[in-house]
Structure 1
Amino acid sequence: MKIIDRTKAAAREIKEELKKSAKIPQSSPSKGDLNLVTSTGSTLLDLAISGNRVHGGGLPSGILIEIYGPSGRGKTAILAEIMGGIQAREGEVMFLDPEARLDKEYAHIYGVAIDKSNYKMLDTVQEVFDFIENWSPKSKDKNVSHAIGVDSLAALSTDLELSDSGDTMGMKRAKEFSQGLRKICRLIKKNNWLLPCTNQIRQGMYGETTPGGKSVEFYSSLRIRVGSPKSNKFIIKKEKMKYEDERQVDVNQVDGIRSVCKITKNIIDSPHREADIYIMFGYGIDDIRGNLQYIKDMTGKTRYNCITKEYQSMERAIDYIEENNLESELKELTINVWEQVQDVLKTKRKPKRR
């Protein structure tokens, strides 16, 4: 009976909230500012996000991004790459960590400098929204993006959930997300901030869902589902160990993972695109590896194109690119190949008659 009473009470609260929100101007998800673009760390993912809108693609400032999927597929890696990219361009970042599992060593891999001034462990949905409302970066340079990263939305609780009565139906959390995002999305659009958030998935009665209700899905300008490929999930390093008596032993270990990023919502560019990303342990997103593989696949060649040379081995190709500082040339070649593919796939039809 207590659960039924709480459910009825929560339903009444939501009904009253809907009446109030009907009087408040509703903000649509922002398309962002493409004059200030931040990379995800992957050229292919950048292109999938906004490659038809801006050369090279990337994340426009002024938007909410939801990066969701099963655990262990690279959601936090993408978030950290975004934050590292902001800091590299002299922007300010704030990392909100409800899961309390980010460490300085992990952040350092992605070029993110974490200290007490830009790291907070908050517990509830309301605490996160209150913090964002009161955040004020020191830099007022309008040519620089700032970002607040949340890892993850699924770990946030409500005051009701932390109390003895609990929030077993999750209605209070959904209501607080709806109330908070309505205000916060206008704020980040006005200030040209990025708000990338990770989220987990739940298997419900009607399929896959994400914590936080429909409001996170609605207010997000971009939703990226990070999942496992059907095959070749792991990047395995193989070497030969040589001994003094000329014995050789084959040794190998998992050195990284391959994940598939699906753009499930995109109001910046065309949705439902996919991009493979390669995440190497102790290194981060391997953009060189991803670009080499993409060019090889799209050109139908049997060797990896290293601009001035070709290699059969991926590892030797990566070494050659790095030793000769050809990362920028490889990225530009990847963009050119991607644009050629898009041109071939472009719908060529005459305008519809009205």
Structure 2
Amino acid sequence: MKIVIAPDSFKGSLTAKQAAEAIHTGLQRVFPEADYEIVPMADGGEGTVQSLVDATQGTFKRADVLNPLGETVSAEYGLLGDQRTAVIEMAAASGIQFINDETKNPLITTTYGTGQLMLDAMHHGAQEIVIGIGGSATTDGGQGMAEALGVKFLNSAGDPIKRGGGGLGELASIDVSAVDPLVAQTKIRIASDVTNPLVGPKGSAAVFGPQKGATPEMVPVLDANLAHYAAIIKQTLGKDLADYPGAGAAGGLGAGLLAFTQSQMEKGVEIVVRETHLKERAVGADLAFTGEGAIDFQTQYGKTPMGTAQAVKAASPHAKVIGVAGNVGEGIDQLYDLGIDAIFGILPGVVDLPTAIQTGQANLARTAENIARVIK
């Protein structure tokens, strides 16, 4: 029997690798002779670096960069086992965890540190970068990121504009003549499931700005500034990004990456499936176990369990895919027609959240063992 174990992290409790090991422990009690493929997974959000480094026997790198408020911090990214692909979570440098109720202000927060991480990866030999762009504290359209790569954003006097969404209103011209040569030689794969445009009622400022500190008065200012920014990009580079699906992701970082790097948008879980060679490793599988902290109706929209199930089914159509989760929510019935064959909660009874988090490993191993006993 061949069994694929490919869960995401159980947020706050287990990394994807730890979750996979717990499932493996439980299954081995029943099927000690089975052939196991253990593939830690992610969907482009938090935990993607950890999962891909674990799955490819890669290494971690650190660099001193600027956080959204311009303070120096040490941020981590991964270099995968092929030693040519880097994986970065923009939140490591520009995430919302760096701000609080007193400091959050998308008029000044910047993605400059994300660009610094990208440049560091390039100078460590990365020819391709996978960048997950969730959890940002910014609404600067990726201007800071691009500035770190060497792009100059100038006002009408020829001076650099201020970083942050507020500075974009001063933008008069863009100069790309000093961009690091490695940027043009590096393929950027943007891991994002967000389809919002850069501007407008469904744009970055209107939809995501308030959670980053934008007041009702700030939102129209930020939206107008991003529209102006998009117009200057179109005028300078010939790229029309104002309404481009996904350009509004991570405060417009999607637009900045599309404008100033050799990049393309992809679903996060599809990138992870490809980088981990999940389909190839699932050939001939009889069973597959996947899961994450919660499985519900949203799982069908690009979440790890669904992406994993579809990849396994593509490789081995007769394999049965089992989902496990700390919380099983509403609307799971529709998942059964999309590739997941059964879904199980792992909690032994009614417990508070701290207890559930603390006992995640034991609960996951026990549940996997019990499922295996039924199968046997």
Quickly name the TM-score band, shorter chain normalised: under 0.3
TM-score for both structures, normalised by structure 1 = 0.25
- When normalised by structure 2's length, the TM-score is 0.24
Structure 1 or 2, whichever has the larger Rg, is: 1
Structure showing the higher strand proportion among its residues? 1
